[in-house]
Structure 1
Amino acid sequence: MTNIAIIGLGIMGLPMAKNLVKAGYDVTGYNRSQGPIDALVEAGGHGASSVADAVKDADVVITMVPDSPDVAGVVRGEDGVFANAKAGALWIDNSSIRPDVAKELAEEAVAAGFGVVDAPVSGGEQGAIDAVLSIMVGGSPDDFAKAEPVLNAIGKTIVHVGPAGAGQTVKAANQLIVAVNIQALAEAVVFLEAYGVDTDAALKVLGGGLAGSKVLDQKGQKMLNRDFAPGFRLALHNKDLGIVTAAARQAGISVPLGSAVAQLVTSLVARGDGGLDHSGLFKLTNELSGRD
């Protein structure tokens, strides 16, 4: 039985860990708060008291934490993965971070004797629960081959997209597409409501045509219900759009729609709405139109 350590048991990490248990892996989890650790233990996994404790016997180490500094903090240092995991272990980073940081940390991992892939995920909380995440993987072909069986336990579409950092680059593109789609959907719902249209019927027919999308399927009803309980928090999408705009600037390309939506998301976060689901873009769009 492969021993897997997973660091970060948040909205995404905990259901991923549970699915790894269901797949037959021996899973040990660590999280800064105790509640998710207890939930993993109840599901058949094990809890750890620190990163070092979690990874000491692991064949595979998975990190699922919010941002680039968090990943670096988990893998570096005396208590980190590199100092405490056994030689030859495979590190899978499912976090969404800057491509340049992913590449830098991958080089450090290889120098320390580990296999490594950057494998950010898309699909939100429900995708993690249902084990149908889309996973874009950067790294060597050999390390991808080692990671693929593990990733198959948490995702449905697993694609090797290139060398170290490539997974994070594709994830940035994913977040650009998702953000622009959510904003377009928010504007459409405000438009429909302004004209008193039966919005349930309207979204149903729109979903069956070219305007149909997973964003419409998953976020349309949330907007109609004003239900912004987080599946993916605006604060995290704000971080991701910062990665997009910075990387676009570095590459010398223009992302006008992405930049505009990035400013709207930043505005929501700045006023205290960062804990809402990213469908909360609807709130600001509605307010800009003078509607409740």
Structure 2
Amino acid sequence: MSSLIGFIGFGAMACRMGANLRKAGYRIAAYTPSGKGGDGDVPFLPTPRALAQEADIVIACVPDDEALEQSMSGPDGALAGMKAGGLLINTSSVAPETSTALAAQGAAIGVTVLDAPVAGSTPEAESANLVVLVGGHAADVARAQPIFDAIGRLTIHAGPSGSGSKLKLVINGIMGATLAVVAEGVTYGLASGLERDMLFDALDAVPVISPHHKRKLKAAKAGDFSPQFPTRLMQKDMRLLMTDAARQMAPMPATAAATQSLSLTRRRYPNEDYSSLFAVMEDMVANDDTP
């Protein structure tokens, strides 16, 4: 029989990755705290440990460090159910030190752990066009390569354990900070009297705006902030980046300012797409009574 891949977390990204893995011939099972996910054809097990006991390979796809700790540790955690020689792939965006600690926990029981967060949102997950950012030994990355090939278009071996998590923070930091700059440009344009549709259309036409942010501009123009990447997750990644940047004494003043804007956006629109920052900024201009 084909290998069974057990997903811990089966939300918007994981269920799409799971669908592509099934197309590649793998069997899929899952665990979520609610016992529910985005695909009714996938069996759900009651605990992470029960899932790990059945699965040949475990993929974790949870929202943050706390959720990863809850699903990995303790008597019902995945590590308690994994066998020596097993493979755990953590696609969650977490702090680099969390990834290295998990790798050490796995090594202590003979389990290989790769930190493998992905670059891309739900459209890329659905079309198997993710970029997989992997931290771990080269031989272990090669072992997991068929899985990465099924969910993504490119695998980048970033270095030893924790490197995938670091690269993910670099990418998301640039993504979040750049969106904040674009939103500020829109805010100035609206405040100065430029016609709204013309402004959004002009920015969509110029090469200085990335394809990703053009997609966000189109959504903002229409007022559609359906969550491809929820604000709560983007703000969380920015926070992790700023924390580790301070530890590394890496000055990031522009990213720090963008993090503040995304913190405000998370307070207002936690579960909408992080591009709802446009709505926050536009609302400030629209409700400004300055003569």
**Common topology (TM > 0.5):** yes
Query: 1:188-267 maps to which residues of 2 (within 5 A)?
Result: 188-193=185-190, 194-196=193-195, 198-199=198-199, 201-206=201-206, 209=207, 211-267=208-264
Q: RMSD across aligned C-alpha pairs, in angstroms? A: 1.7
Residues 93, 16 of structure 1: alpha-carbon distance in 2 compared, 3 angstrom cutoff:
same
The code of the aligned residue for 1:81 comes to A
Given candidates 88, 94, 106, the residue that maps to 2:91 is 94
Given candidates 172, 175, 178, the residue that maps to 2:175 is 178
Name the SS for the 1:289 alignment partner: helix
Between the aligned partners of 1:199 and 1:116, the Cα distance in structure 2 is: 47
Could you tell me which residue of structure 2 aligns to residue 287 of structure 1?
283
Does residue 169 (structure 1) correspond to residue 166 (structure 2)? The answer is: yes
Between the aligned partners of 1:267 and 1:199, the Cα distance in structure 2 is: 24
Could you tell me which residue of structure 2 aligns to residue 106 of structure 1?
103
Given candidates 139, 144, 149, the residue that maps to 2:141 is 144
Could you tell me which residue of structure 1 aligns to residue 25 of structure 2?
24
The answer on whether the counterparts of 1:40 and 1:46 sit within 8 Å (CA) in structure 2 is: no
Does residue 40 (structure 1) correspond to residue 39 (structure 2)? The answer is: yes
The code of the aligned residue for 1:212 comes to I
The code of the aligned residue for 2:222 comes to N
Between the aligned partners of 1:41 and 1:142, the Cα distance in structure 2 is: 35
Residues 96, 31 of structure 1: alpha-carbon distance in 2 compared, 3 angstrom cutoff:
same
Name the SS for the 1:152 alignment partner: helix
Between the aligned partners of 2:66 and 2:133, the Cα distance in structure 1 is: 21
Between the aligned partners of 2:96 and 2:57, the Cα distance in structure 1 is: 22
The answer on whether the counterparts of 1:182 and 1:215 sit within 8 Å (CA) in structure 2 is: no
Aligned length: 284
Name the SS for the 2:241 alignment partner: helix
The answer on whether the counterparts of 2:102 and 2:113 sit within 8 Å (CA) in structure 1 is: no
Question: How many percent of aligned residue pairs carry the same amino acid?
Answer: 30
Write the deviation string for residues 69-104 of structure 1: whole angstroms up to 9, x where unpaired.
211221111111111122211000000000011101
Residues 75, 259 of structure 1: alpha-carbon distance in 2 compared, 3 angstrom cutoff:
same
Given candidates 116, 121, 127, the residue that maps to 1:119 is 116
**1:269 CA drift (Å):** 2.1
Could you tell me the TM-score, scaled by structure 1's length?
0.92
The answer on whether the counterparts of 1:28 and 1:46 sit within 8 Å (CA) in structure 2 is: yes
Could you tell me which residue of structure 1 aligns to residue 3 of structure 2?
2
The answer on whether the counterparts of 1:131 and 1:156 sit within 8 Å (CA) in structure 2 is: yes
Could you tell me the TM-score, scaled by structure 2's length?
0.92
The code of the aligned residue for 2:127 comes to D
**1:192 CA drift (Å):** 4.4
Residues 246, 200 of structure 1: alpha-carbon distance in 2 compared, 3 angstrom cutoff:
closer
Name the SS for the 2:39 alignment partner: helix
**1:200 CA drift (Å):** 5.3
Between the aligned partners of 2:262 and 2:189, the Cα distance in structure 1 is: 22
The answer on whether the counterparts of 2:51 and 2:78 sit within 8 Å (CA) in structure 1 is: no
**1:191 CA drift (Å):** 4.1
Does residue 133 (structure 1) correspond to residue 130 (structure 2)? The answer is: yes
Unaligned runs of 5+ in 1: none
The answer on whether the counterparts of 1:186 and 1:223 sit within 8 Å (CA) in structure 2 is: no
Does residue 53 (structure 1) correspond to residue 50 (structure 2)? The answer is: yes
Given candidates 59, 63, 68, the residue that maps to 2:60 is 63
Unaligned runs of 5+ in 2: none
List structure 1 runs of 4+ shifted beyond 6 angstroms.
none
Between the aligned partners of 2:40 and 2:87, the Cα distance in structure 1 is: 23
